[in-house]
Amino acid sequence: MMKTIAVMTSGGDSPGMNAAARAVVRTAIFNGVHVFGIYNGYKGMLKDDMQELTSRSVSDIIQRGGTFLGTARSKEFETEEGRRKGYENLKKHGIEGLVIIGGDGSLRGGAQLSEECDIPIVGIPGTIDNDVWGSDYTIGCDTAANTIVDAINKLRDTASAHRRIIVIEVMGHRSGWLAMTAGIAGGAEYVLVPEVKYDIDEICDDIKESYARGKRYSIIVVAEGAGSGVDIGKIVAEKTEIDTRVSVLGHIQRGGSPTVQDRMKASQLGEQAALALISGVTNVVFGFEAGEVVRIDLFEAVHNKKTLDPELVRLAHVLA
Ligand code: ATP
């Protein structure tokens, strides 16, 4: 059994990362294992920005968005020399294993570190994009989807009052899960995602017909990877000649107090990750499949690309 482990958050922050880190820290301490927090992701690892945590260090954070450990992106860690430097810093503190909470890039960094240096790694998927292969769920996706649905509800009220079309741009450069899920839950008429081709002329004709039949509003959710909300709004306004407004939600989607689902799942993943790591398991990612916690091979997780569930695309189309 290990004596000392560390936990870090990396890449884009997501609501629930705190709950996961808290679970890792408290599980380690519960089992008599020392636990370090590495501040500001790989950047902090290279700067030796880490310190031992107590149970108290993670008090009063489960309800907060963001991450008390901070997060960052590091170009230096992408080099072998950088990773070696990070490893030396871990060794200096007697850290025998590492829990990394982050998106696919962060997990890729962990896989590289594990391949080159003798350090066991356990990953926890933390990103609002829900795009880590092998897991149905990533920490923060539920809170972010709820934030978008809340915005859709409010925008729909005003759209309906003015008979407007509303275009809402949401996050998702390469993954449309967030747009699709929030679009379905928010009752959007159209959801544009990077994974699915769309015909803007067809959409505009469709909207014109629906307005002719008496419809009072139309909601178009656009994942940023499917096009700019502003540009799409301009085209739609021009082609339909219907009053159109654009709302770009931006970083508001990253923040906020995590939902119960994000807190619960993050806590479960944090506990399982810490238990596995201290008992000598390495190169795995803990995720969810069909509601159960599952172990995913770290290398498979980072080498495969998660695809958007076609069932979601179909459902969005049927219910529009
Ligand atoms: P999100 O997609 O939610 O923003 P992420 O974890 O995918 O989160 P990235 O910016 O892709 O975010 O990665 C975070 C950090 O992980 C990078 O700044 C870099 O230090 C490290 N990293 C990413 N890819 C690699 C890689 N192939 N090799 C080594 N390190 C990497």
* Closest atom of ligand 1 to CA, residue 75: 20
Tens digit of each residue's pLDDT (9 = 90 or more) over 29-55: 999 999 999 999 999 999 999 999 999
Take residue 278 and report the two structure tokens written for it: 């201290």
Pocket test for ligand 1, best of 13, 38, 73, 299 (most atoms within 8 A of CB): 73
Q: Which residue has the tokens 């810490």?
A: 274
| pLDDT for position 227 | 97
Q: Supply the DSSP symbol for 320.
A: -
Rounded Cα distance between 287 and 307, Å, is 16
**Cα separations in angstroms, 25 against 8, 149, 255, 266:** 11, 33, 22, 13
129 is catalytic: yes
Encoded amino acid at 295, one letter: R
Helix residue ranges per DSSP H, the chain: 17-30, 41-46, 80-92, 104-116, 141-162, 177-186, 200-212, 229-240, 260-278, 298-303, 310-319
44 lines ligand 1 (CB under 6 A): no
| CA 284, chain centre distance (Å) | 18
C-beta atoms surrounding 83 within 10 Å = 25
Q: Is 105 in the pocket of ligand 1 (CB under 6 A)?
A: yes
Q: Tokens 């998660």, residue?
A: 306
Mean of the per-residue pLDDT values of the chain: 97
Q: Work out the burial of residue 250: count CB atoms within 10 Å of its CB; fewer than 13 is exposed, 13-18 middle, 19 or more buried.
A: exposed
Beta bridge partners of 6: 36, 98
Indicate if ligand 1 lies below 6 Å from the C-beta of 146. no
What Cα–Cα distance (Å) separates residue 155 from each residue in 143, 158, 216, 293? 18, 5, 13, 36
Q: Is 43 in the pocket of ligand 1 (CB under 6 A)?
A: no
Query: Nearest C-alpha to atom 12 of ligand 1 is from which residue?
Result: 11
Distance 129 CA to ligand 1 centre (A): 14
The predicted structure's pLDDT at residue 65:
97
Rounded average pLDDT per 10-residue block, the chain, 320 residues:
97 97 98 98 98 98 98 96 98 98 97 95 98 98 98 94 95 97 97 97 96 94 98 98 97 97 98 97 97 98 97 94
**Which pLDDT tens digit goes with each residue over 78-91?**
999 999 999 999 99
For residue 320, the model assigns a pLDDT of: 87
Question: What pLDDT sits at residue 118?
Answer: 87
* Closest approach atom of ligand 1 to CA 77: 20
Q: List phi, psi (to 5°) of 218.
A: -145, 135
Among 129, 131, 142, 262, the one annotated catalytic? 129
3-state secondary structure of 248: strand
Beta strand pairing call for 50-52 and 34-38: antiparallel
pLDDT score for 171: 98
Ligand 1 site, residue 112, Cβ cutoff 6 A? yes
Query: 11 CB less than 6 Å from ligand 1?
Result: yes
pTM: 0.96
- Is ligand 1 within 6 A of the CB of residue 267? no
| CA 72 to ligand 1 center in whole angstroms | 9
CA 109–ligand 1 middle distance (angstroms): 6
* SS3 category, 96: coil
